[in-house]
Amino acid sequence: MTTARSSGTFAIGGDLTVNRLGFGAMRITGSGIWGEPADRAKAIATLKRVPELGIDLIDTADSYGPYVSEDLIREALAPYDGLVIATKGGLTRHGPDIWQPVGNPDYLRQCVLMSLSRLKLERIDLWQLHRIGPDVPRERQFEAIAAMRAEGLIRHVGLSEVSVEEIEAARKFFPVATVQNRFNLVDRTSEAVLDHCDRNGIGFIPWAPLDKGTLAQRGSALAEIASKRGTSEGAVALAWLLKRSPVMLPIPGTGDPDHLAQNVRGAELTLDDAEFRALDEQGRKAWKAGG
């Protein structure tokens, strides 16, 4: 059976080793990432399938639902034998597809404490600032996070949707273990951030890793490689990400156990250099052309 173990491993923060192909738990919520999933039993079944497929890194956030994703993870998987549950805080929700960043230090502490309670954890292995809030200076946010890390509430700290300059500003307060920015075949906006993470041993968690844009059409390199290899285009897109950098930690999300198993096939698929270059070139052209 194909498992995520074939993706290789990465040590988050230098001491928290996970298989490189993880699972993103945003899509186990309702439409607009709001409320309960349409099929709760299927969402629970998907989560239970995660460790069976060798995935040991689950990425979630208190804002998914809000709270729904963390609650379902606890229900399906606590006490998390061998699993790393990474979560995020710093975004408030006021309705479907509405996200408002708040960086008030008291609010960030509340985010951490409530996630600990919902997930039934004594310490969060990887807590990520979902966005740097515009309401207070970023230094106050970083100071609050550093204090929670020193207190033992957080083991490792990550950042989401940040620039190289912001990563370096944060590193004055705590080691940055991971960065979670949007990145895929047809969105290279964070290429410089990825390269910076690569040079500094920082895990890079690409969100929306399966976005294929105009490459999802007949005759594209993506379609041809998938056909030749007898696998899905999504698996090929994940294989490209895994080959792109040793710090890459893709977290494709789904609320369907079969789709989850399909994604995991990307862990065992090794692209040759010619395939990688063809995908890279077509993806870059699509990105420059707007997708």
Q: Is 284 exposed, middle or buried (0-12, 13-18, 19+ CB in 10 A)?
A: middle
Active site residue 107: no
Q: By three-state DSSP, how is residue 263 classified? A: helix
Sign, CA dihedral 190-208-78-128, equals positive
**Could you give the CA distance from residue 73 to residue 119 in angstroms, rounded to a whole number?**
7
**Could you give the CA distance from residue 55 to residue 283 in angstroms, rounded to a whole number?**
27
Sequence-ordered list of residues with C-beta below 8 angstroms from that of 289, at least 6 positions apart, any chain:
214
**CA triple 62-65-69, angle to 5 deg:** 65
**Could you give the CA distance from residue 65 to residue 88 in angstroms, rounded to a whole number?**
13
**List 64, 67, 80, 107, catalytic entry:** 64
Q: By three-state DSSP, how is residue 274 classified? A: helix
Query: Could you write out the DSSP letters of every residue in 198-254?
Result: HHHT-EE--BSTT--GGGSSTTSHHHHHHHHHTS-HHHHHHHHHHHH-TTB----B-
Q: Which residue in the block uniquely carries the two structure tokens 């491993």?
A: 9
Nearest Cα neighbor of 283 from 229, 236, 232 is: 236
Q: Give yes or no for a contact between 255 and 46, defined as CB atoms under 8 angstroms apart.
A: yes
Residues annotated catalytic, as ranges? 64
